[in-house]
């Protein structure tokens, strides 16, 4: 039977996991599948596949998740959001996942359908918050359920304490683990873990790390997510922005250092945002394991 993330984390060894996003076309799907096959020999604890903006790629996400579950040795986590779906539609998707043998789901509210600058509008017959989706998943089957966490705070949260309270509510609803949005300062992660623990959220919180391989892309994603892009790192990268190999080398160096600080401080593992590429992630993974040898 497929392992659950809960079981893998309980083994006590640091987890290493990789996130992919669903491709927009057949060429992108071929590139993604190549990256998955290149990363598979690293024996990650699990991999996950996101929804597109506003849940726009649900069908392709489900197909990719089912293919990973069917054709690889990998434990796969499916993303599921509340965006644009009624409760009945969500139940249908959940049952499709169960039929495909998927036991692990990351339950997310999702971004506003009309864009990040628009207010959140739930489906008239849908769910308002991720904790409700956690509950629905447990009602429908024996799933291991993860949720999102935000070291620098969710863009809609007024302050860090409120954000930790929302995470605790998801834990109370039955979340088994959490994965953070990407960030660049280890102390932001450790502060979140402390705040959440103080109000009763004791589930493993896996830090998310995104290796910088493209300056403009990361700056754009950091702006959208609300992550603070460190000025020192930005300056180093902009100085070599026209030299992709040097950009990647700096990105690998910085991400490796961040991972080492997180693991030394007790993080249960590292979740890599791969951007559907394998090279930088494989380099960081090798450097971390070389230091353990």
Q: Note the pLDDT tens digit of each residue in 266-278.
A: 999 999 998 888 8
Q: What confidence tens digit (pLDDT) does each residue in 129-146 have?
A: 899 999 999 999 999 999
Q: Give yes or no for a contact between 280 and 218, defined as CB atoms under 8 angstroms apart.
A: no
pLDDT over 70 at 92, yes or no = yes
Q: Is the pLDDT of residue 251 over 80?
A: yes
Which residues are catalytic, by number? Answer: 19
Check pLDDT > 80 for residue 221.
no
The total number of residues written for the chain in this structure: 293
The helix/strand/coil state of 242 is coil
pLDDT value, residue 82: 85
Q: For the chain, where are the E strands, in sequence order?
A: 15-20, 46-49, 76-81, 104-108, 144-149, 177-182, 205-209, 269-273
Tell me the torsion sign for CA atoms 278, 283, 288, 293. Answer: positive
Task: For residue 1, give the 3-state DSSP assignment.
Answer: coil
Mean pLDDT for the chain overall: 86
* Closest alpha carbon to 78 in 127, 137, 16: 137
Report in angstroms the alpha-carbon separations of 288 from 11, 35, 205.
19, 20, 19
In contact, 133 and 107? CB cutoff 8 Å: yes
The CA-atom distances, in angstroms, between 72 and each of 78, 79, 152 are 15, 18, 35
Query: At residue 203, does pLDDT exceed 90?
Result: yes
* Residue 54 confidence (pLDDT) above 80: no
First to last CA, the chain: 31
What are the structural domains, with CATH classification, of the chain?
A: 5-292 (3.20.20.220)
**Confidence band (pLDDT; 50, 70, 90) for 185?**
very high
216 to 172, 186, 255: CA distances (angstroms)? 38, 23, 17
Q: Whole-angstrom Cα distance, residue 113 to residue 223?
A: 18
- Supply the pLDDT for residue 48: 92
Is the per-residue pLDDT at 255 higher than 60? yes
Lowest-confidence pick of 30-34, 39-43, 84-88, 216-220: 216-220
Which is it for the CA torsion 79, 152, 5, 292, positive or negative? positive
Q: What is the mean pLDDT of residues 48-70?
A: 75
Average pLDDT over residues 233-254: 88
Residue 204: its pLDDT value, please? Answer: 96
* Global confidence as pTM: 0.91
Average pLDDT rounded to a whole number, residues 233-251: 88
Q: What value does the mean pLDDT take over residues 29-49?
A: 90
- Whether residue 96 is predicted with pLDDT greater than 80 in this model: the reply is yes
Query: What is the reported pLDDT for 113?
Result: 58
| pLDDT at residue 1, as a whole number | 54
Tokens 């049952």 belong to residue: 95
């Amino acid at each position: 039977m497929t392992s659950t993330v809960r079981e893998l984390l309980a083994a006590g060894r640091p987890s290493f996991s990789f996130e992919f996003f669903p491709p927009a076309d057949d060429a992108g799907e071929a590139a993604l599948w190549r990256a998955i096959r290149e990363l598979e020999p690293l024996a990650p604890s699990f991999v996950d596949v996101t929804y597109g903006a506003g849940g726009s790629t649900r069908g392709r996400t489900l197909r990719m998740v089912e293919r990973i579950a069917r054709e690889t040795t990998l434990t796969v986590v499916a993303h599921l959001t509340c965006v644009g779906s009624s409760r009945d539609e969500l139940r249908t998707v959940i049952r499709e996942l169960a039929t495909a043998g998927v036991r692990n789901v990351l339950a997310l509210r999702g971004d506003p359908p009309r864009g990040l600058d628009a207010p959140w509008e739930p489906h008239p017959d849908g769910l308002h918050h991720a904790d409700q989706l956690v509950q629905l998943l447990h009602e429908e089957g024996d799933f291991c359920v993860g949720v999102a966490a935000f070291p620098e705070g969710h863009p809609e949260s007024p302050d860090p304490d409120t954000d930790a309270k929302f995470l605790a509510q998801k834990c109370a609803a039955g979340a088994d683990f959490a994965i953070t949005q990407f960030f660049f300062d280890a102390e932001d992660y450790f502060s979140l873990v402390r705040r959440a623990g103080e109000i009763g959220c004791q589930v493993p919180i896996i830090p998310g790390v995104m290796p910088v391989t493209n300056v403009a892309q990361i700056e754009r994603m950091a702006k959208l997510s609300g992550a603070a892009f460190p000025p020192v790192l930005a300056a180093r990268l902009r100085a070599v922005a026209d030299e992709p190999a040097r950009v990647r080398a700096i990105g690998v160096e910085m991400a490796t250092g961040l991972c080492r600080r997180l693991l030394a401080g007790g993080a249960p593992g590292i979740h890599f945002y791969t951007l559907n590429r394998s090279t930088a992630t494989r380099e960081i993974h090798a450097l971390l394991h070389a230091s353990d040898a």
